[in-house]
Amino acid sequence: MKKYANAMLLAALGCTLLAGCGKTEAETEAEKTETTAATETAAETETETEAAEVAPEGMARNNLTGEWIAEDVAGKRPLALMIENTYDAWPHYGIERADIVYECPVEGSITRYMALFQDYSGMDRIGNVRSCRPYYVDFAAEYDAIYAHFGECIFAFDILEKIDDLDALEGQVENLAFYRTSDMNAPHNAYVSSDGINAAIEYKGYDTNMAEGFGEHYNFAKDDENVILDNGYDAVVVEPGYRIDKPWFVYNPEDGLYYRYAFGREEKDAVTGNQLAYKNVILQGVNYTMYTGSGTEFDDKYLNIDCYSGGTGQYITNGKAIDITWSKDSMTSPTRYFDADGNEITVNQGKTWVCVVLNEDADRVHFYSSEDEFNNRSAE
């Protein structure tokens, strides 16, 4: 393309020089202007052609990671699955396959996960699965996800009416999608399979194709781009500050991933035995109130996390962190993250773990320049 454009440019210049003899100065200047305009147009066309992304055959971008996956999978709605995070529920099955994991506080200072899967095919056991909280629905909706959960708190009824969801307590859906095992004690023994989820989706009549208007969730880096936070601060170890599981992430410079620990040990997938690892970690600070108005014993028992008013946080990748702000405009609009200059951040391709942190616990969030510094920290 470059050789062709250069040849055309030289030919145009040659014709201009030959034709210029015997012409008036005004005519010559006019032709020069036309030649310059033609040259600029050719250069712009060349740049646009070079910038146009060509997908590998049969592939498309994964909206959750920015990476190439099978085209037929990329166009499907993701699965958002509620997963319990207590010591009794460990180990989790299939969570390593999730592209994005949200960790949010629930009652009693424990946390619960919502795992997002773009491709959950061929999975026999995923979970365990627990109940819904309203703010997880707000997050699931921004991905056009089909949301699977085992029941819900009383305050989630209204918001669940706004999305496509699979509730284990909903008659036939429970028989199709969910099952219990004998190797775990109830209520920690409910799981789903890919075949069961697909059967339940078919029973409910949900459209499995991604709706128009939903695309890549983050502003992902290009294939040949690696986001290095040169102006950031050291974040070799990241401590989100949750009170019960007390998790932390450790950066491995050899593969550029953050490895997850909680409850004092490596957090592993029970299916593969691999430790969970992520390219990006996002801490999102939020305010909250307590739900009231039900006239039941559940008033003031459940968190009402504010997913819309915006706030601050951190983006962490490649051993560094930067301060960010975030905003979310509507239920189905994505949460956007911005740097100190107000520009939307570029996120590295790969898996992401989002820690939703209560602002009142911001002083429990810590970043360390090395594992030695982390190991020698003062106990809280």
Q: Do 227 and 300 share a domain, yes or no? A: yes
DSSP assignment string, 51-104:
HS--PPTTEEE-TTTS-EEEHHHHTBPPEEEEEEESGGGPSBBSGGG-SEEEEE
Q: Is residue 61 part of a domain?
A: no
Q: At 328, list the tokens.
A: 């979310």
Cα dist from 228 to 4, 47, 259, whole Å: 36, 26, 18
Tell whether the model's pLDDT for residue 229 goes beyond 60: yes
What mean pLDDT comes out for the span 342-358?
Answer: 98
Q: Do 24 and 79 share a domain, yes or no? A: no
Comparing C-alpha atoms, which of 70, 48, 75 is closest to residue 58?
Answer: 70
What mean pLDDT comes out for the span 200-208?
Answer: 97
Q: What percent of the chain has pLDDT over 70?
A: 86
- For 83-137, the pLDDT digits (tens) are 999 999 999 999 999 999 999 999 999 999 999 999 999 999 999 999 999 999 9
What mean pLDDT comes out for the span 327-337?
Answer: 96
- What are the residues facing 237 on neighbouring strands? 250, 368
Q: Do 15 and 164 share a domain, yes or no? A: no
Tell whether the model's pLDDT for residue 210 goes beyond 80: yes
Beta carbons of 283 and 105 less than 8 angstroms apart: no
Q: Is residue 66 part of a domain?
A: no
Q: Is residue 57 part of a domain?
A: no
Q: Do 137 and 229 share a domain, yes or no? A: yes
Tell whether the model's pLDDT for residue 2 goes beyond 60: no
Q: Is residue 362 part of a domain?
A: yes
Domain count, the chain: 2
Comparing C-alpha atoms, which of 77, 24, 347 is closest to residue 201?
Answer: 77
Question: Residue 192 sits in a domain of what CATH number?
Answer: 3.50.90.10
| 3-class SS of residue 6 | helix
Q: Confidence class of residue 288 from pLDDT cuts 50, 70 and 90?
A: very high
The model carries a pTM of 0.86
Q: How many CB atoms lie within 10 A of CB 124?
A: 13
Domain span at residue 184 reads 75-380
What mean pLDDT comes out for the span 160-169?
Answer: 95
- In this predicted structure, what is the pLDDT of residue 29? 55
- In this predicted structure, what is the pLDDT of residue 1? 39
Q: Is residue 155 part of a domain?
A: yes
Candidate ranges 41-50, 169-178, 252-261, 370-379; pick with highest mean pLDDT: 252-261
Q: Do 318 and 364 share a domain, yes or no? A: yes
Q: Is residue 70 part of a domain?
A: no
Q: Do 96 and 45 share a domain, yes or no? A: no
Q: Do 111 and 30 share a domain, yes or no? A: no
Q: Is residue 58 part of a domain?
A: no
Beta carbons of 287 and 306 less than 8 angstroms apart: yes
- In this predicted structure, what is the pLDDT of residue 49? 40
Q: Do 203 and 352 share a domain, yes or no? A: yes
DSSP letter assigned to residue 131 = -
Q: For the ranges 40-49, 58-67, 193-202, 272-281, which has the lowest average pLDDT?
A: 40-49
What mean pLDDT comes out for the span 17-29?
Answer: 46
Q: Do 14 and 163 share a domain, yes or no? A: no
Q: Do 284 and 138 share a domain, yes or no? A: yes
Q: Do 178 and 293 share a domain, yes or no? A: yes
- For 28-77, the pLDDT digits (tens) are 555 555 545 544 554 454 444 445 678 899 999 999 999 999 999 999 99
Q: Confidence class of residue 171 from pLDDT cuts 50, 70 and 90?
A: confident
Beta carbons of 253 and 237 less than 8 angstroms apart: no
DSSP letter assigned to residue 344 = B
- In this predicted structure, what is the pLDDT of residue 378? 77
Q: Confidence class of residue 213 from pLDDT cuts 50, 70 and 90?
A: confident
- In this predicted structure, what is the pLDDT of residue 34? 53
User: CA-to-CA distance for 352 and 334, rounded, in angstroms?
Assistant: 15
Tell whether the model's pLDDT for residue 12 goes beyond 50: no
Q: Do 282 and 355 share a domain, yes or no? A: yes
Comparing C-alpha atoms, which of 45, 33, 50, 63 is closest to residue 8?
Answer: 45
Q: Is residue 62 part of a domain?
A: no
Phi, psi of 27 (to 5 degrees): -65, -40
- In this predicted structure, what is the pLDDT of residue 44? 52
